[in-house]
Structure 1
Amino acid sequence: MPTAPVDSKGTELFFTDSGPVKGSTDYTTLVIYHGSAFTGNTFHKLLHLCAKDNVRLVILNRRDYAGSTKYTDEELADLNAGDKAFMERLALEVANFLVWFAETEKVPEVTPDRRRGGFSVMGWSLGNATPLAILGHPEVIPKETLAKLEPYFRQLVLYDPPHLTFGYDQPPEGYNPFIDPDYPTPEAIFNNFRYWVSTYYDHSDPYSVSGLDFSKRGVRPSVDNMTEDETAVNFDPAAAARTEFPMFFPMQPALNAQGQRALFNEELAKTYLPNVEIVFIWCDKANWYCSYGMIETKRQYKQNIAEGKELRPIRFIRINGANHFVHWDDPEAFWTATVEAINN
């Protein structure tokens, strides 16, 4: 079971690796961080698709999920307190993993035209907050680590992040599955969550808050497309209850500050890893959390650009007819969008 060290304290992350692309000296290494409750195993359908497009795929399990080191009591205390120190440690872990993998596996550096090679780092859902931390807290990463990372880190791909990733205020009319009185226990909450998050929603206008479908439940849940054995490795409510609840609540102010720094801070964009671009992949049938995450991010990006700020470029890619689990329900459609993101 392959694991990677991400600090000097013995912390490790479990990962699955498709391996180098045979015969290629300029392949891109796509590193994926999964979302809340659902593990990296949900991305395994992509492993056989990547080599033909000159991509090496590395799928991580985040801390506390199967194969990766659990958080310490001290780390959980910071998480539950909403302390930005927790996110700063994640920034270090992401940077350390990328440098370790680049050096250990001798992956290709970014090509001079910045269209091939290097790392494309993807988060999914609220898991986006983990790689986003590297751009939100770059000053905590040692200069020598940043210098080693610079030749490799090409892109950050935000795959269908909910508004919670960026600590945005929630529209008052929006359904919140985490405070629904019909589901009083963590077990009941996450059982409801796995259906709510994985169904298809019919937004009359996915570009407008007033056009979003705020229903308590959509249709055709993707989790019904998983066998019992697949669900056992894809879904981990225990890890989610332990580590994700604080991200939904006390960590929101810190996530807002992180998102603003990562996406809209002109000075940080010029000073740290200035060549990293951002791609935002969104699914137009996803739950409203994710649709609103796109709407508000795009609004703020356009506003900042209109004000004359020189920010990291953000490209938005829409997957038509897709829900939040398109990588599971229709891996080919998801992979097409991912290749578009990677190849610019």
Structure 2
Amino acid sequence: MPTLTLNSGVEFFYTDSGVPLGGDDYTTLVIIHGHTFHSGTFQRISPLAHSNSLRVVCVNRREYPGSSPYSAEELNVFASGTDAQKAGILEQQGRDLALFVDGIIETLLGPKAGGVALCAWSMGNIFLLSLIASIQTLPANTRARLSRHVQNIILFQPPCFVFGVLDPPGKVTPHTDPTIAPAALGPTFAKWVSSYFNHRDLSTHDVDHLTYTDTDASKLPTIFGLQPQELASMTDFAPPEKYDSFLALPAFAGPLARQVDKALFDPAVRSAWGAPTVWHLYGTAEPWNIVYGGWDIESRARAIDSPALAINFRTIDGANHFLVWEDPEKAVKELKACLS
């Protein structure tokens, strides 16, 4: 399977749907995966790429299958580093992923290819924001290629901790719920994150209208519908224990919040990217912390009210967190609607 190796020696595994028939006027959609569920999560959307004039490239982050592991020193920073060290390792991940995208542009995109859209799903948005924030630290040729080719940025279903936003009082997730025994956390979280939730009126942006436990009993959580071989093809349970899970803890909130300030709300960073369109999408049946994260970023964008820092927001009616698996046609339609 394909890999791309940076000059530093860091290697990234990726999947590639290939050039659409005809080879003209298509968009390359680069997707960064989330916690536990790696590039295999998107295997149902890749077959739909060509008919939608897309080339879908899904990268495995470090520690996930086919990509470089972290050193013990790097893993220690995720687990117990200072704020400055945490900020530094986030910056490095952003630079590495930016160089990966630049390598994809140089090696895969032909002269007739259209633009590039950068997308991350779920917790992977931490790394997309790192990538965006890194633009001014990159070599001049890389900056020029990225700003010329990248036309769209899509924040797809990010939870609130991605933005350094702490849980509001009275709200918990399985990881912070004191009633859940450690041995039961994995299965409980998998059921919870893939359920369909019956939130109340989301138009109010009232946190009291968000539910932690009220789910639609008529719809199985996605995890319950997966065959063992399907689950194996899209998950790796080792990396989260090494570093992913640390990113969701309050100790990372400060560095993540500062990263958002730079990636989304710094005019110089937006300008360096060539002013791509930015979208934020979430489903109305997702876990509460994903809806809440959307509300927070939307309120910030509206308060700034700057065309140069505009973020477009859209909700996906009835979608749970695994739209790319449950309804890949709808997922592709929603993502394609974000392309300019």
TM-score normalized by the length of structure 2? 0.92
Q: Within 5 A, what are the aligned runs for 1:6-25?
A: 7-25=6-24
Q: 1:205 aligns with which of 190, 201, 206?
A: 201
Q: Within 5 A, what are the aligned runs for 1:107-118?
A: 107-108=110-111, 117-118=114-115
Distance 1:268 1:32 in 2: 21
**Cα distance, 1:52 vs structure 2:** 1.1
Q: Aligned residue pairs: how many?
A: 331
- Corresponding position of 2:325: 328
Say whether residues 1:190 and 2:191 are aligned partners: no
Distance 2:215 2:35 in 1: 18
| Structure 1 contact 109–152 (Cα < 8 Å) conserved | no
| Structure 1 contact 43–59 (Cα < 8 Å) conserved | yes
5+ unaligned residues in a row in structure 1: which ranges?
Answer: 111-116
Give identity over the alignment, percent: 30
Q: 1:108 to 1:275 in 2, by over 3 A?
A: farther
Q: Within 5 A, what are the aligned runs for 1:266-285?
A: 266-270=267-271, 272-285=272-285
**Cα distance, 1:167 vs structure 2:** 0.4
Secondary structure in structure 2 of the residue aligned to 1:311: helix
- Corresponding position of 1:147: 144
- Corresponding position of 1:293: 293
- Corresponding position of 2:76: 77
| Structure 1 contact 29–107 (Cα < 8 Å) conserved | no
5+ unaligned residues in a row in structure 2: which ranges?
Answer: none
Q: 1:101 aligns with which of 96, 101, 104?
A: 104
Q: 2:122 aligns with which of 122, 125, 128?
A: 125
**Cα distance, 1:179 vs structure 2:** 2.5
**Cα distance, 1:315 vs structure 2:** 1.4
- Corresponding position of 2:95: 92
- Corresponding position of 2:134: 137
Post-superposition CA distance 1:25-82 (Å, at most 9, x none): 2210001111111111111001111111111011111111111111111221222225
Say whether residues 1:48 and 2:47 are aligned partners: yes
| Structure 1 contact 26–109 (Cα < 8 Å) conserved | yes
Distance 2:153 2:167 in 1: 25
Say whether residues 1:237 and 2:234 are aligned partners: no
Post-superposition CA distance 1:218-266 (Å, at most 9, x none): 6521101110111122222221111212101222211111111111223
| Structure 2 contact 16–58 (Cα < 8 Å) conserved | yes
TM-score normalized by the length of structure 1? 0.91
**Cα distance, 1:210 vs structure 2:** 2.4
Distance 2:335 2:316 in 1: 10
| Structure 2 contact 157–321 (Cα < 8 Å) conserved | yes
| Structure 2 contact 136–143 (Cα < 8 Å) conserved | no
Q: Which amino acid aligns with 2:332?
A: W
| Structure 2 contact 199–214 (Cα < 8 Å) conserved | no
Post-superposition CA distance 1:150-183 (Å, at most 9, x none): 2211111110111011001211121222133344
| Structure 1 contact 261–268 (Cα < 8 Å) conserved | yes
| Structure 1 contact 88–140 (Cα < 8 Å) conserved | no
Secondary structure in structure 2 of the residue aligned to 1:332: helix
**Cα distance, 1:314 vs structure 2:** 1.3
- Corresponding position of 1:114: none
Distance 2:159 2:199 in 1: 15
Segments of 4+ moved more than 6 angstroms: none
